[in-house]
Structures are given as structure tokens and as C-alpha cells.
Amino acid sequence: MATAGKVIKCKAAVAWEAGKPLSIEEVEVAPPQAMEVRVKILYTALCHTDVYFWEAKGQTPVFPRILGHEAGGIVESVGEGVTELAPGDHVLPVFTGECKECAHCQSEESNMCDLLRINVDRGVMIGDGQSRFTIKGKPIFHFVGTSTFSEYTVIHVGCLAKINPEAPLDKVCIMSCGFCTGFGATVNVAKPKRGQTVAIFGLGAVGLAAMEGARISGASRIIGVDLNPAKWEQAKKFGCTDFVNPKDYSKPVQEVLIEMTNGGVDRAVECTGNINAMISAFECVHDGWGVAVLVGVPTKDDVFKTHPMNFLNEKTLKGTFFGNYKPRTDLPNVVEMYMRKELELEKFITHSVPFSQINTAFDLMLKGESIRCVMRMEE
């Protein structure tokens, strides 16, 4: 490419301070250094995690920053030492990585790479501790190693999954975070058997992806649990057969679910991050074989309290990170499932706007009106 090795000037949505609307600015994007790749982003979606770090209420504020991590793009140029990607390759950036060399990457059981696992406070590249973004020479911080709210971004090679170039990036971009997190929690961790009953706590994008996993696994009954009754109608498209709103009952929701299912659900997947929902999800599973999986991220002071008899009665509690997928190894195969029409992604994408209207995407999510809003970079 004629741009290789040179600084690229392009548009990016910059978060200057917590909770203030993003502003579209011209940024300078430096060339990729060793083991880095510069990617032209074609589509990026808004995930609740972007909103969470933009609000910066519960964590270290890092500003000015370019947010964004759920996206699809094309490699523009590669830095020294990058052999597995070349200009023109289609890629999904991922907020967590796979170096392929550490103990976690060598293990079949883990996807929690020592080198590249998510770091929400770091605003610079891992190689040299510098940012690749500047505005008039002043550095702008990165976000979870991806920063996809920019027409061009620089990402470590270990955080890019090379995918089938035939796959439509405006659809498969949602696989780079939300879809795989929920879907993998069900199919890779909860592993419901055909005909079993599955409860999903929290019916946002991740919960609905977990529900899609239950549907594909052949669950006979899928119970959605959410405090917002408006979520029920939407959830039916994802295989939801029953809906429970904890606010409608005077007793704990785990008791309601145990009664509904004659002893408890076979599998429960918790996608809210609310500590009480986590405890309910575990306690509502059937003794002897029930499995609960925690996906939602708790606040720092949360404590999980349950009676140890629940474990002695052979209920199992598990946790998961990014659906237990290894980004580089596994994501290309999930994209192929979509290409074979085994998965439906379209129903997750409720809105689509041009990149210049990124603040509309934030408004839709804050109002709870969107599952996923995909932004196209080309006007």
C-alpha cells in the first residue's frame, strides 16, 4: 500500500472526558511497530463495555481516549515480525489476545493469554508503552488494545482473528465481542444437552447470544429472566419459551424457577453482572447435575454468598471469559458457522448508522432500545 510506513490522517471519535458526547476529530495514526498491524476499520458496533468506560463511574478514567472494540476491518500494513497477516486480509479485532506461546495459550483449557489478556487501564501499546494516535502531536489513549472508533487503528497481531474474506463484515463484526461471549458461555461452558431446560439471566446482547446458544443446542425450554418486561417479545426471536420478571414475585426468583421446572433448571447462564442474579442463577439449577455459568462482570466489592450444601448436592458453578474462545484459533470457525447458516446474526443488529452519528448509537444503548447498533465508516 502507498500508505505503508507513513502516518495516516483520518477521522476518529474521541472521548475527551467522562460522559461527554464523543467528537469526530482528525487524528494521526502512526505506522505499526514490531508485532503490530494497522487496520482499516470498515464497520464497528457499540457494546455496553464502551459505554461503561466512557461513563467511567466504576473504574480508572483514562482520557482522552478512542473507545471501540467490536469491529471488522482489513489489514492496511503490518509491522516487523508479522508473518501470519498481510495487507488485504479481513480481520476481527478482539479485546483479548492469543500470543500462542504462553502457558495459557498452550493449554487446551484456557483462553486467558498471559501477554495479551484484557487490560482496561492501559492506554498505550504493549511493545513500547506509547500511543499510536495523536492529535496535533498530543497522544490520545487506546482502549483494550483495539480502539475501533477510528477509520484506522493499530493493534497487536495477537488480538486479530483472520477470517474468511467472503464473510460480510457488517454482520460478523458483532462476533468480535458480544456474540462470542454469550454464545460461547452456553455452547463451550454450560454445554446443555438436547431437550434440557436453560435459564438465561439478563437479556441484553450477551444474554441473547447465550440464548441463541441454547436454541442451537436443542434446549426444550429456554427461560429468560429480566427486570424489563419489554425484553420478552424480543427474546422470542432467540428461542425464549418462558419469561420471568423477578419484580412480579414476592419470593426469590430461584424459588420461582425451581417450582416452574420441578426441581430446577439443567443449565443457567448469568449475563447481568448483578451479584444477586449470580447467586440466583446458581441456586436455581437442579441438584445432581445442574450447571450455572457466570458471564457478567461484578463490581469490585461484590461477594458471592451461598450455602455450601448447594455444592455438596452436586450443583456446579463455573465462570467464563470471552465464551472460552481463543481469539485467533477459534473465531474463524465461528464465522464459518455463520457462513453455513447455522447461526443467525441479523436479528442482533437492530440499528445501523453512519460513523458520524456515533452519539446516536450511545443514545440508543442508554435508552435500552438497541441490541446492537452497527456503524459504517464510509459515509
Q: Report pLDDT digits (tens) over 65-82.
A: 999 999 999 999 999 999
From the candidates 10, 48, 344, 351, give the one annotated as an active-site residue.
48
One domain, residues 306 and 353:
no
Q: Three-class SS of residue 76?
A: strand
Instruction: Flag whether pLDDT at 379 surpasses 80.
Output: no
Contact 186, 207 (CB under 8 A): no
From the candidates 38, 47, 132, 180, give the one annotated as an active-site residue.
47
One domain, residues 111 and 134:
yes
Q: Could you tell me if residue 334 is inside a domain?
A: no
pLDDT digits (tens, 9 = 90+) for 39-52: 999 999 999 899 98
From the candidates 49, 197, 261, 272, give the one annotated as an active-site residue.
49
From the candidates 65, 96, 98, 99, give the one annotated as an active-site residue.
99
From the candidates 117, 132, 215, 328, give the one annotated as an active-site residue.
117
pTM above 0.85, yes or no: yes
One domain, residues 170 and 186:
no
One domain, residues 120 and 159:
yes
Q: Could you tell me if residue 302 is inside a domain?
A: yes
Average pLDDT over residues 146-175: 98
Q: Give the model's confidence band at 56: pLDDT under 50 very low, under 70 low, under 90 confident, else very high.
A: confident
One domain, residues 22 and 124:
yes
Q: Could you tell me if residue 332 is inside a domain?
A: no
340 vs 1: which has the higher pLDDT? 340
Other CB atoms within a 10 A radius of the CB of residue 28 amount to: 18
Q: Could you tell me if residue 326 is inside a domain?
A: no
Q: Give the model's confidence band at 60: pLDDT under 50 very low, under 70 low, under 90 confident, else very high.
A: confident
Tally of structural domains, the chain: 2
Q: Could you tell me if residue 305 is inside a domain?
A: yes
One domain, residues 232 and 284:
yes
177: annotated active-site residue: yes
Least confident of 58-72, 151-165, 239-253, 281-295: 58-72
**Domain hosting residue 65, numbered range:** 8-174+345-376
Please provide the average confidence, as pLDDT, over all residues in the chain.
96
Give the model's pLDDT for residue 1: 65
pLDDT digits (tens, 9 = 90+) for 334-357: 999 999 999 999 999 999 999 999
372: annotated active-site residue: yes
One domain, residues 161 and 51:
yes
Other CB atoms within a 10 A radius of the CB of residue 4 amount to: 13
10: annotated active-site residue: no
70: annotated active-site residue: yes
105: annotated active-site residue: yes
Average pLDDT over residues 4-28: 97
Q: Could you tell me if residue 274 is inside a domain?
A: yes
173: annotated active-site residue: no
Average pLDDT over residues 357-372: 94
Give the model's pLDDT for residue 35: 98
307: annotated active-site residue: no
Q: Could you tell me if residue 292 is inside a domain?
A: yes
47: annotated active-site residue: yes
